[in-house]
Amino acid sequence: MKRGKKSDVRFVALGGGQEVGASCYFLQINDAYILLDCGKSPTGSYFPDFRTILKPPFLECLNQINQIFISHSHFDHIGALRDLTAQCRNAGIYATPITKALLFHILWNLRDRHDVSENRQERDEILADTTVRSIIETGYCREIPLPGYTATFYEAGHIPGAAMVYFQTKDRRILYTGDFSCRASALTSPYILPDTITFDTVIICGLHAKHPHIRRGRDPQSQLAFIKQKLERGYSVHLETVQLTKGWEILHTMNEEMWNNHLPLLPVYIDHSLCLLAEEMERMHIPVRRSWNYVGPPPRGEQAVVIGRFAPSRFIPVKVDFSLHPTYRELADFIEKYNPKTVVLVHTGTADTQSKANCLEMELMTKPSWTGHFIYAETGEIYSL
């Protein structure tokens, strides 16, 4: 970059703008073309839309992408990675060691193994393995020198291995939060950023930015209270999980609650895919399973807990849908604390009214120290930052 010339920074949400699913964001920093996450919708039907960037002034083809940064291993942030790896052959792909370890199991389980032929299963496994082998492991707090900028991963909380990505040029400081947590969970600490860090722009995943009051029942405590009630009445419970990582999170939580006598100690049955994921975590010294955990379907007539996609009809179904995201209040406090000039909100849930959509911005405008502005990034729109 020539002396005195300001950095050219542009941003496009390719998916996961003002909606949840297919989180994938294009960030241009001078001559560097970057993807932040590569997700699909939970059902796999919603894929990032690259049409906006596959034309001037951006790219001729996806092979011109220089770097891909993966924030964490949830499906809506990594589901499209296997398909994109072959199209972004020149891109360096960066993730933490834990995220990389999880990726193989998530990518290989994109489809139900019972619905495909043995040859297709083998092909899926090879593609997943090829994708994972191409990932460059990156630890927290280690600066990555790249042409025109540096990137640093910081701990994001949310799930093990999750990372915020901090970009620096000579004149710009940009933070991409990915999904992050402001509170500790059973598996992680809150996000950790250096006390001295500053940034002029934040691209922030704000699931509850439009929800001043989180919907009742979406927090872990409400779901655990409901589960406890059913188990104490003698019912068997099926904890329905679509994403493997959600199954892993609830398995760990249930085991901890039973170990601490907060829930009745009952056998917990998990499916084979979840067992493989738990084994991977244990190889990385993250304990998940307990002696009362079993693989496969439960015996007939036994009171038990089942975690996975399917369970016998006698089990009471509970969809695992608690939020590990910051609340509206935590988002407001985070933005006020760091006071960036530009806040780019992505990965937001829908608001019931337009006033709720803007209330976060309106609240911060009343703060004497607040001098920034908000961008509610719409999928497919181009923004100069």
Query: What's the pLDDT tens digit per position in 258-280?
Result: 999 999 999 999 988 888 888 88
Number of domains in the chain: 2
Rounded-to-integer distance, Cα 315 and Cα 227, Å:
12
Quick check: is 2 in a domain? no
Please, which residues have CB within 8 angstroms of residue 232's CB and are 6 or more apart in sequence?
A: 264
Q: What is the pLDDT of residue 324?
A: 80
The answer, as to whether pTM is greater than 0.75, is yes
In this structure, are 294 and 329 located in the same domain?
A: no
Is 122 a residue whose pLDDT tops 70? no
In this structure, are 43 and 161 located in the same domain?
A: yes
Last residue of a domain, one of 277, 298, 319: 319
CB 359 within 8 A of CB 212: yes
CA distance readout (Å), 253 to 72, 158, 184, 239, 307 = 19, 14, 13, 12, 12
Mean pLDDT of the chain: 88
CB 94 within 8 A of CB 70: yes
What CATH number corresponds to the domain at position 49?
Answer: 3.60.15.10
In this structure, are 278 and 331 located in the same domain?
A: no
Is 219 a residue whose pLDDT tops 70? no
Q: What is the pLDDT of residue 113?
A: 45
Is 149 a residue whose pLDDT tops 90? yes
Task: Supply the range of the domain harboring residue 266.
Answer: 220-319
- How many other C-beta atoms can be found within 10 angstroms of the C-beta atom of residue 71? 28
Q: What is the pLDDT of residue 353?
A: 60
In this structure, are 314 and 338 located in the same domain?
A: no
Is 214 a residue whose pLDDT tops 70? no
Cis amide leading into 57 (omega within 30): yes
Quick check: is 106 in a domain? yes
Quick check: is 228 in a domain? yes
In this structure, are 131 and 265 located in the same domain?
A: no
In this structure, are 159 and 234 located in the same domain?
A: no
What CATH number corresponds to the domain at position 239?
Answer: 3.40.50.10890
In this structure, are 91 and 162 located in the same domain?
A: yes
